[in-house]
């Protein structure tokens, strides 16, 4: 299942573009790498990697609806950083959200602003209806805000 086909994006959320798809075994399971541009922060690009189960694997294992929560994220400055109207509270803000199974599981990327250290934190994690997931990945991008020129 290609993640891009199953996007459940709230208004203003980022979309993902597939960068790579690496086959890992003979039943068609893959590791997919996608790029995500933060829609409210210009100059930041994240790369999200996750495991994608094949139909053959789902049929042979008998657990059609299960999907691993494993993911990895790395974000970097890809241009001048310009902060838009981002949520600055401790709960952060969803940047990306995609369905990861047929029932009640999604993969999310959340942005959190660390005001004191002037750092954007990007957290990738699974969201499940019945139980949370302890599997997560984090990446940070320092933001060097320029002071206005003195007149």
pLDDT in tens, 78-96: 999 999 999 988 889 999 8
pLDDT score at 60: 63
pTM for the whole structure: 0.74
Distance CA 144, CA 18 (A): 29
Burial of 22 (0-12, 13-18, 19+ CB in 10 A): exposed
Non-local CB neighbours of 146 within 8 Å, separated by 6+ positions: none
Give the CB-side neighbour count of residue 42, counting CA atoms within 13 A.
6
Give the DSSP letter of residue 6: G
* Structural domain boundaries in the chain: 3-142
């Amino acid at each position: 299942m290609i993640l891009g086909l199953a996007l459940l994006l709230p208004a203003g959320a980022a979309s993902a573009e597939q960068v790579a798809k690496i086959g890992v075994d003979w039943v068609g399971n893959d590791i997919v790498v996608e790029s995500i541009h933060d829609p409210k922060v210009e100059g930041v690009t994240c790369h999200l990697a996750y495991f994608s189960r094949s139909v053959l694997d789902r049929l042979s294992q008998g657990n059609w609806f299960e999907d691993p929560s494993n993911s990895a994220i790395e974000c970097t400055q890809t241009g001048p950083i310009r902060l838009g109207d981002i949520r600055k509270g401790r709960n952060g803000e969803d940047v990306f959200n995609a369905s990861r199974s047929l029932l009640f599981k999604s993969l999310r990327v959340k942005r959190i602003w660390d005001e004191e250290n002037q750092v954007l934190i990007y957290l990738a994690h699974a969201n499940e209806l019945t139980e949370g997931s302890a599997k997560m990945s984090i990446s940070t991008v320092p933001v060097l805000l320029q002071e206005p020129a003195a007149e």
